[in-house]
Each structure stands twice: as C-alpha cells, then as structure tokens.
Chains A and B, each alone.
Chain A
C-alpha cells in the first residue's frame, strides 16, 4: 500500500536561509509525487509535481524538488526562504493523480 512520511512535524528557519523539507514514500510502482502548500484558512495549492522524466522538478514560488528512487525520497528545497513562505507543506503520492495519499505535513515557521 502506498504511504508518505514527512519526518519533520515543525521546522523553523531564518528569513533568507535555505530550506529542505523531507518526504519519503512507499509505493509499488513508479509514483506520481506532489508537494502542496496550505496557508491558514486556505485550501491546498500545488507547488510542483513529478510524473516522469527529469528527476529535478521546478515549481512555483522558487521551490524545487528532487526525486531519488534509490532513497524513495522527494525532498522539497528553496535556496532562500521569505517570510511569506510560512505555511504547512504536504507531500503526496498517487497513482495517475488518483487515490493520492498525503503525509501528515510539515509546518514551516520563518524567523525575521
């Protein structure tokens, strides 16, 4: 059965510092992988997705993620965090965009 683990419940970084959010998945075939961001009181917004091809995926708002099959990981990165990036981040794995399983989320706090 597919599953997603986000090991970090809460991360705090200083504004301008780099960021990496971890995501590990379990899936029997080549997965579809997603990162979503959720601001308070808002729905989820897609940051980026991986279906196939280049394992380094560029997304919106300056985010990128790298698919590493050998490590079953899809970590999200940003070189310089802005205060507006403070939010909850969810990694998800699915089959063909259906039956998506979400991780429990990582809450990002940005220090001034």
Chain B
C-alpha cells in the first residue's frame, strides 16, 4: 500500500512570497490533516478535512493560510504571503476515518519550508 505522498520535499522562499504544498493521501482515506512542525516542537494541527469538507480549522491562521481538498482526495495548503515564522516542516496525514476514530493516522515525509 502506498503511503502519504507530499511535494515538494523542500522549499526556500523569501518573506512575502507565496508557496503551496501538495498532499496525496492513502487511497480511500476519508480524513486528511495538515500539521505544522516548528523546529524543536511537536506537530500542531492546522486543519482537518473529512472528505472535501473542513472539520476543524481553528488553529489555521486564516489571514495568510488556506487549504482545500477538491474531490475529497488530494489537498493543497497555501501560504500567502509568507512570514519568517512560517519556517517549519508541514506534515500531511490521513486515516480511514470510517471506524469511529480508533484507526491510525499515517504521516507523509513532510515539506520543509525555509522563509528568508
């Protein structure tokens, strides 16, 4: 079974530029998450999708971050404009989501963003 795919793996941009990250979850997984992991910290949930609907985006900085999951499969996370403090690893995770919440979240390798 293929895992969660993310691209690009690395991205370097200057502040105030825009950037987008892509995630392809495990086939058939209804629930998709985006996390932000700042160096030296644990991952922090940004947004959760169930199919193509948003379940929780309470920690997403909506003035600059946006995310979508068209057709309930792939997802894109965008930052516009980027700030220095957005430098982090952005992790995508997915899970089946059909079994009452006890199933496992599977994480992708992440995209490491550096904002200069």
A binds B: yes
Interface residues of A (CB under 8 A from B): 4, 32, 36, 41-46, 49, 51, 90, 92, 96-105
Range for the number of chain B residues in contact with chain A: 20 to 34
22 example contacts (A-B, Cβ-Cβ < 8 A) are as follows A4-B42, A32-B102, A36-B107, A42-B109, A43-B4, A43-B93, A43-B107, A44-B43, A44-B91, A44-B93, A44-B107, A46-B104, A51-B102, A90-B43, A96-B101, A97-B95, A97-B105, A98-B56, A100-B45, A102-B44, A104-B42, A105-B42
Beta-carbon contacts under 8 Å, B62-92 to A: 91
Q: Does B103 contact A (CB under 8 A)?
A: yes
Partner of A104 from the list B40, B100, B102, B104 (CB cut-off 8 Å) is: B40
Residues of B with C-beta under 8 A to A46 = 104-106
Interface residues of B (CB under 8 A from A): 3-4, 40-45, 48, 55-56, 91, 93, 95, 100-110
Dominant secondary structure at the A interface: strand
Known contacts A43-B91, A97-B95; is-contact A104 B41 (Cβ 8 Å): yes
Residues of A with C-beta under 8 A to B45 = 99-100
Partner of B109 from the list A41, A51, A90, A103 (CB cut-off 8 Å) is: A41
Smallest CB separation, A9 vs chain B (Å):
8
Partner of B103 from the list A45, A97, A104 (CB cut-off 8 Å) is: A97
Check if A49 sits within 8 Å of B104, measured CB to CB.
yes
Most buried by A among B42, B43, B44: B42
Residues of A with C-beta under 8 A to B105 = 46, 97, 100
User: Which A residue sits closest to B44, measured CB to CB?
Assistant: A102
| Contacts A32-B101, A43-B107, A44-B43 supplied; 9 other A-B pairs, CB < 8 Å | A4-B42, A36-B107, A43-B108, A43-B109, A44-B107, A46-B106, A97-B95, A98-B101, A104-B42
Smallest CB separation, A16 vs chain B (Å):
29
Complex Cα spacing A45 to B110, Å: 12
